[in-house]
Amino acid sequence: MSNILKISKEDIIYHLKISCQIPSLLEAIATRKIITETAKKEGISIEIAELQQSADNLRLVNNLIKADDTWEWLKKHYLSLDNFEEIANLNLLSAKLAHHLFADKIEPFFYAHQISYSGAVTYEVILDDEDLALEIFYALQEGEISFQEVARQYIQNPEIRRAGGYQGIRKRSDFRPEVASAVFAANPPEMIKPVTTPKGVHIIIVEEIIAPQLNEQIRVGILGDLFTNWLKEQINKLEIMATLGDEINSPVSPIEIFSEAS
C-alpha cells in the first residue's frame, strides 16, 4: 500500500462542507474583499519599505528566522512567495485602513466608556458554602484569622495559594457583573462582603482601584474593536453567494432532511 495520500480540490471543498466550515470561510473571504476594496476607495497606498517591514513582522510572528524556515513554512501552507507578499500586504492594508477610519475615534470612545477600563488589584478566595464564607468573613474582620491563612487552607491552585489569593490587576470586564459592582464600589483597602456567583462564594480584598489611562495598549485594543465591529457591520449588509461545484447556495429542503424523523 502506498504511503502517499492524494487529496483533490473537491476533497477539500467537500470536507469544508461536511465540517460546517463554509460560513466562516466565506466570512473571511468577504472580510478580505471589504478591506481591499475600501482601502482602494479611500486612496490608501503602501510603500515598498512599509511592505518589507510587514513581511519582516510576518516572519517574526511565525518564527521564520532562517530562509529554510520560511521555505518550509510556505511549503506546509501551500503558499508561494507571491502569496507570502499578499499576506504581508493584507496585514498592512488592514492596519492602515483601521487607522484611517478610526484613529480619531479612539479618545472619544475611551472617555465615553472610561469606567470599563478601570482596574482593580484584588485578593480572592472562593468557597462552596455560603455559611462558611460568612463565618470566615466575620473572623477576618475581627482579626481572628489572616487572609493568607484562609488562602492556604481553601485555595487549590498552588501558585495562587502561594501568592495568598492575589489576582493581579483586572479590568472591570474581567469580573462577573455582580462581583464588579461590589469591587468597584469599594473604598480600598477594603474587604467586601461575600458575593455569590455560579462559581461559588467570593471573599475579596480590594487593595487598590486603578484609574484608567489611555495608554498604547488600550489604544490598540480600542482600534481593533472598532475596526472588527465595523467589518461585521459591512458583512451583515451583504448577501454572500458562493459557487461550490455545481451548486450555488442551494440548501437541501427541510422536508428532505426531516422526512424520516417525521
Per-residue confidence (pLDDT) for residue 202, from 0 to 100? 96
The H-or-E segment that residue 28 falls in is helix 22-41
Distance CA 251, CA 16 (A): 15
User: Is residue 170 located within the same domain as residue 42?
Assistant: no
Residue 37: which of 90, 103, 102, 104 has the closest Cα?
A: 90
Q: Is 166 a member of any domain?
A: yes
Q: How confident is the model at residue 249 (pLDDT cuts 50, 70, 90)?
A: low
Q: How confident is the model at residue 252 (pLDDT cuts 50, 70, 90)?
A: very low
| Cα–Cα–Cα angle for 129, 122, 225, rounded to 5 degrees | 110
Percent with pLDDT over 70 in the chain: 92
Distance CA 143, CA 137 (A): 10
- Helices H / strands E in the chain, number of each: 12, 6
CATH classification of the domain holding 176: 3.10.50.40
User: Is residue 20 located within the same domain as residue 90?
Assistant: yes
Q: Is 111 a member of any domain?
A: no
User: Is residue 203 located within the same domain as residue 150?
Assistant: yes
Contact in structure between 128 and 201 (CB atoms under 8 Å): yes
Residue-wise pLDDT tens digits, 129-184: 999 999 999 999 999 999 999 999 999 999 999 999 999 999 998 999 999 999 99
Domain membership of residue 174 as a residue range: 117-208
User: Is residue 185 located within the same domain as residue 202?
Assistant: yes
Q: How confident is the model at residue 244 (pLDDT cuts 50, 70, 90)?
A: confident
Per-residue confidence (pLDDT) for residue 53, from 0 to 100? 96
Residue-wise pLDDT tens digits, 11-39: 999 999 999 999 999 999 999 999 999 99
| 61 pLDDT above the threshold of 90 | yes
Per-residue confidence (pLDDT) for residue 253, from 0 to 100? 45
Distance CA 201, CA 117 (A): 25
- The total number of structural domains in the chain stands at 2
| Cα–Cα–Cα angle for 254, 259, 260, rounded to 5 degrees | 140
User: Is residue 38 located within the same domain as residue 94?
Assistant: yes
Mean pLDDT across the chain: 91
User: Is residue 96 located within the same domain as residue 144?
Assistant: no
Q: How confident is the model at residue 204 (pLDDT cuts 50, 70, 90)?
A: very high
